[in-house]
Each structure stands twice: as C-alpha cells, then as structure tokens.
Structure 1
C-alpha cells in the first residue's frame, strides 16, 4: 500500500535499531531500470510491455568479480517499483553482512487496476511469466549473478506475499528459497466478503459494466481508462475488485472481461453466484488443494518461511497464513513462521532486516 510518509519513519527506526547512517562507500547502488516485458504484450488494459524494476547492488558489487545470489521482491497492491524504496533496510543489513551479500530486485505488479496479483491472465497480462521468464532472463544477462535456482530467492509483501506463494508452488526449478510477508492467502472468503460488502460498490461495478457493453475489443483499453478517471481511487474499492477479477476470473465474453461473483436482481439487490465465487477464492485460496497438488514442488525448497502480524487489519490474512502453515505441517513440508506484534505494513523494514534478509543470505549462500 502507498506509504510515502513512511520513509522518514523507516530511517528513524533504523537509527533506533543501531543501523546509524551508512557511509557512502558502504551503501548499495539502487537504480530503476526499464526492461522488456514480452509476457505482458497484448494484454487488454493497456499495460506497457516495457516495465521498470528496482535493482539494488550490494556494496562490493562494482569492485568485485564475484557472482552474487539474487532475491526477487514482489511489492504489494498499489506499490510501484521505486515508490516505496527499501534502500535504508537493504543498506543497514548489508553493512553488517559483507560476507553474505546478494542482489535485490524490486518488482511491482502495478497496472490500470493498481495490481496484477502477479497472475497470468488474458486480461491483465502474464505477470507470473514476466517474473520467471522476462525478469530473470534480463537480470542474469545484465548482472553478475549466480544463475541457478540454488542462488535465487523470492519474497514479497501482501499481494506480493500471495504472489510469492503462488509462484513458488509452480516454480521450484527457478527458486530455492521463498519468504512470504503478510501474504494474501485465504482460509475462507472473508477478504472477498469485504470487497463486496457495500452495495454501492456493486452498483458502481454494475454501472461500469453496462457502459462497456457495446465497446469494441479494439477500443476496450482506451474506453476503460477514460471511464475509470471518474472514480476516486482513494474512496472506492472498485479498483481492487477489477484487479482481483481480471487476475483470477477473466471472461472475455463479459463487458469488463471479468466474470463477477454476484448478479443484480430485479429489485436492485444482489445475489452471490457461487460457481463464480469459487474462481475468485481459488486465486489466493484453495490452500488444501494447492498444498496437496504441489507437495512435491514444495519439498524441493531449501527454505519456506511465512510472517504476519497479529494485528494485521486486512481481513483474513493472519488466519490464512496460520492455516497455510497448518497445511504444510500436515503434509510434513518443512517451513518456519514468524508471528509478531504489528499491523499489516508497520513492520516491513524491521522484518526485512531481522527476518527476510538473514534467511535469504544464509540459505542462498549455502550455509544452511
């Protein structure tokens, strides 16, 4: 989520933790880099097939011939690469970890709807493929990386945590360590109930859908972008609904190219469509089925870890994280958890410094 004002708080936090101000020659080198994104080509909502990624190079990178492990970090919903920089956290950790340096790649799943859920979709583009194909190919060909699964980790926060889990389930040939922070995983449909609890939001979706009924496919992207300009992103949840639906319930026969889990009745009330709701839940849910289906993949990881705050205010995330851990235990899949006192976003930097970065360093450098 957008936390521009949080950067100052992060700096203060690091000072309290003893991180101090890192000397110039100890700092990482951070830059935003535009890379080709062929996997996103031909999406229907106008996302460009050139994307920005944030590249953090460790302090010794420029003066060394060493090859480095790489951690791929997936940002949360609404967050673009470079908007919520983790430079202070990365610098603070790296200055005390000279023997365990790695490259950190910051990714975003940002689009017209402010989030892709990092899923493959004919509507919003193939974001999972973008990560495991486009980004990794680019990074391995442009930077001094250890280009093998044993030296790659994937992590993310919120939507990025959910993406971390879904992608790691299917790609043990690409990554060997996965750490999901406050992940969007669902033990039930609480999150979706929160999306659709307000009838006025459903009316907005219905009205927007009616406006798009006669729009030609070739005009879809431009027309939708124009229509969405009239909605205030700060006070309506319609963007989150469109993001979730386009990722997990695409239907090209519908006006918005999405099958929605509700229908409007003649009296203006709404009813659930259970068969469609199952598709929405499956996006970040259906955890039992996923763990069983991908058990062999999960056992190939050197490390799987989860963290979430006890006071996380996003409906269902703590419950979903605990439930996912329970399922992993039942299938005897090794993993670790970190449940801490905190909300959804107030401990991100602290968790990166104290949990995520040390885990990645230890396992990607082969110490564990």
Structure 2
C-alpha cells in the first residue's frame, strides 16, 4: 500500500508540475502488417494495416531489456494519428509518454493499429464484411509486436485501452482474451448494449430500414454508426439475438468468466455525453461487473464525448497503465 501511494503521488506531481517538453524523447515508428485475418473481406478493405508504435527513450538505451505493451484502439471515423497530432485538445501522446518516462513511469510501448475503413470503423470483431479484426488484434498484431519488438509476453504486461468504438473494442477483446490482455481501460465506450440511440424504440432504426428517408443532422451520426454495426455484426439489429454475441453488456451478463482473471477494469464517461449509449451502457456494464463480483472502477467526469481527452490521457489513462505495469497497482492480484 505504501509503495502504491508513493507511486500515485509521484504521478500527481508529474501531472501538475512538470513542463510539457521532455529532455529525453521516445520514437513513433510506423509499421505495416499484411493481415491474413483481414484479407478477403466483403468490402474489399486492404489487408495492409498501418500500426503506429511508440517506444520510450529507454528502449534504445537498454538493448537487453523487455517492455510491457499498451494496445490503444481508436474510435469511429478516427485514425491513430489523432492521438499524436493535437486533435484532442492538443494531445501529443509521444510527448505525454516522454514526460511519464522522466519519473520512471513511462517505460512501456504503445501500439495503435489503424482500424478505419470505408464505413468508418470495424468494431474490432470478426466480421464477414470487414474481416476478422478480433483475430487480427488479439493474435496477428500481438504476435507481430512480440516478434519485432522486445516485449514482455505475459498477460500482466499487456493492456487494452480505447475510446468510443475503441472503448467498445477494448471491452469486447478483454472479455474474450483475458489470457492475452491483463488490464483494460474503456474511455467513453459506445454501443455496449441496446440502450440510448440503439434502443429498439429509437428513431434511428426507422431511418436505417428506409434508405429513402434522410435523417436530421442531429441523428445522422447515430444512423451511420448503426449501419456500420449492422454490417460488422452481419445481421439487422432486430434479428433475435443476432447482436448479443458482440455487445459487451450482453456478453458480460451471459458469462462473466472472461473478466474474472483481469488485473483491472476501468470505465469512464462524460456526464454531458450526447451519445446516450455511452453513459447508459457504461453504467449497465458496471452493474454487470458488480453482480459478477468483479472489481472495477467507474469514473464520471464533467464534459462530453471527446471533452477532456488530453487531460484524461495525461492524468488518468497513461498513469494507470504505468502503475499496472510497474507492479505498484494496489490490488497486486494480477498473475501471469
């Protein structure tokens, strides 16, 4: 407990006091993986996938050392570059990670695959339309990173995080592959259950059923999202039980065993999020964890869907994984 408190205080000092520019600099490398799992998808999406990899300054300086890995999943109609180019209130993940390294807390890799496609995203599931994205992330990508970089390969040294669609993907993959990923942090996870704009009574489905209707601007994004989910899951929403195998809330309700071995589960959402499925789904997921007696943390913050993204990364998400990977996490219950 004393070690954990000291670690937390050190990270708080970082967030409040350290300047943004770090002396030592890590690197962003861009790899391309030709995926067998994605090849042959129905929409003709390329199987050649860009993967952005952050390596800390110590990676090149200590050639015999192995490092933990955070797999970071982007959201709908997004791209990994947005973690780096200031799109989120000036967030530059490389600089933030370099700052963490200054207090010996950022010694891990961050891997960011590009999951964008013509329909706006893949939802990180195995799909006839989009390819086997579950297999790509949980098998091909992990195996590629472990073979190409000096990584620690126990599950306690691998984490999953994502925002919006990426938060959905992080929860979905963490449930299915607790033997691969030890910890999960879902930021504003969308679409985790049939609630909010995805509820069966939602007007969204009327526009989805009738392509001659034009949804109002306030609903256009939700209609596009639901159309992509329909393609990803290979069935319309109202086909009995067709979406349940993909929805994190439904999966958790049916069988919570996938998360029982997790080192840590964290969800967060903005109190003013205009995407109703985010707060409703996050609370429903937390209720499922509580019923299953699985430890978790649920954080609600002032703001909307992408508000405070930079702040959350700098002060919550990345320090959380630094603590998990360092062994200073208070639970101490994560086993290889």
The normalised TM-score by structure 2 is 0.81
The 8 Å contact of residues 71 and 102 in structure 1, kept in 2 or not, is answered as: yes
Match of 1:242 in 2: 227
Match among 116, 129, 153 for residue 122 of structure 2: 116
Match of 1:142 in 2: 148
Match of 1:42 in 2: 40
Residue 84 (structure 1) shift: 4.1
The 8 Å contact of residues 170 and 294 in structure 1, kept in 2 or not, is answered as: no
The 8 Å contact of residues 67 and 146 in structure 1, kept in 2 or not, is answered as: yes
Match of 1:300 in 2: 261
Structure 2 CA distance for aligned equivalents of residues 162 and 117 of structure 1 = 7
Match among 190, 193, 214 for residue 196 of structure 2: 190
Structure 2 CA distance for aligned equivalents of residues 236 and 175 of structure 1 = 31
Residue 247 (structure 1) shift: 1.2
Which shifted more, 90-99 or 133-142?
A: 90-99
Match of 1:81 in 2: 80
Structure 2 CA distance for aligned equivalents of residues 31 and 105 of structure 1 = 10
The 8 Å contact of residues 195 and 237 in structure 1, kept in 2 or not, is answered as: no
The 8 Å contact of residues 20 and 99 in structure 2, kept in 1 or not, is answered as: no
Residue 43 (structure 1) shift: 0.5
Change (3 A) 1:50 1:293: same
Structure 1 CA distance for aligned equivalents of residues 165 and 319 of structure 2 = 22
Q: Is it true that 1:338 corresponds to 2:299 in the alignment? A: yes
Residue 200 (structure 1) shift: 5.3
Secondary structure of 1:137 counterpart: helix
**1:273-288 alignment runs, 5 A limit:** 274=238, 276=239, 278-280=241-243, 283-284=246-247, 287=249
Match of 1:69 in 2: 68
Match of 1:91 in 2: 95
The 8 Å contact of residues 182 and 263 in structure 2, kept in 1 or not, is answered as: yes
Change (3 A) 1:291 1:203: closer
Structure 1 CA distance for aligned equivalents of residues 247 and 196 of structure 2 = 12
Secondary structure of 2:80 counterpart: coil
Aligned positions, number: 304
Residue 157 (structure 1) shift: 0.3
Structure 2 CA distance for aligned equivalents of residues 34 and 305 of structure 1 = 30
Secondary structure of 1:327 counterpart: helix
Change (3 A) 1:353 1:152: same
Match of 2:26 in 1: 28
Secondary structure of 1:343 counterpart: coil
Structure 2 CA distance for aligned equivalents of residues 198 and 120 of structure 1 = 23
Structure 2 CA distance for aligned equivalents of residues 89 and 68 of structure 1 = 18
Residue 139 (structure 1) shift: 0.7
Match among 314, 318, 340 for residue 275 of structure 2: 314
Match of 1:51 in 2: 49
Match of 2:334 in 1: none
Q: Deviations over 1:197-222 (max 9, x none)?
A: 38555432799xxxxxxxxxxxxxxx
Residue 17 (structure 1) shift: 5.4
Structure 1 CA distance for aligned equivalents of residues 285 and 220 of structure 2 = 31
Structure 2: state its 5+ residue gaps: 1-14, 86-90, 330-336
Match among 302, 315, 329 for residue 354 of structure 1: 315
Secondary structure of 1:314 counterpart: coil
Q: Deviations over 1:327-356 (max 9, x none)?
A: 211211011121111110011121111111
The 8 Å contact of residues 207 and 213 in structure 2, kept in 1 or not, is answered as: no
Match of 1:12 in 2: none
RMSD, matched Cα: 2.8
Q: Is it true that 1:104 corresponds to 2:110 in the alignment? A: yes
The 8 Å contact of residues 195 and 241 in structure 1, kept in 2 or not, is answered as: no
The 8 Å contact of residues 29 and 54 in structure 2, kept in 1 or not, is answered as: yes
The 8 Å contact of residues 178 and 304 in structure 1, kept in 2 or not, is answered as: yes
The 8 Å contact of residues 191 and 314 in structure 1, kept in 2 or not, is answered as: yes
Structure 1 CA distance for aligned equivalents of residues 222 and 265 of structure 2 = 32
Match of 1:10 in 2: none
